[in-house]
Amino acid sequence: MSQAVVLDENDVPGAKLKHPDIEKNTVPELRRWLLCRSIKCSGVKTDLVKRVQDVINTGITEIDPKIDGGKWYFLKKQQLTSLASNHLIIPVFPKEGKYYFEKTLFSRF
């Protein structure tokens, strides 16, 4: 069973603004933030700030899986696949004495 891979702003560098006040972010930070969402990222700072505010107001949170050539998408997919395929193994030890433990352990060989 495959699991849907959805990137969030913590998965991709630059997808999260450094400052909560949008205008305090630099032009490269604003451009990267917009690029991560496949939004036009050209223009002067006032244009970028307005665009970021519009995106935030509309509630668009999706990060483009193709950002940086899909690098972050494939990394997250690999991590999710790895987590799904590994089983947590918890050893169960006998509750009565050393002899019982050794007998149980070595009886498998």
**How far is it, in rounded angstroms, from Cα 77 to Cα 71?**
10
* Predicted TM-score of the model (pTM): 0.73
Residue 84 lies in a domain: yes
Residue 57 lies in a domain: yes
pLDDT reported for residue 9: 92
pLDDT reported for residue 97: 54
**How far is it, in rounded angstroms, from Cα 103 to Cα 105?**
6
Range of the domain at 97: 22-106
Low-confidence ranges of the chain (pLDDT < 50): 1, 89-90, 100-109
Residues 48, 34: contact at Cβ < 8 Å? yes
Residue 91 lies in a domain: yes
Residue 44 lies in a domain: yes
Residue 8 lies in a domain: no
Total number of domains constituting the chain: 1
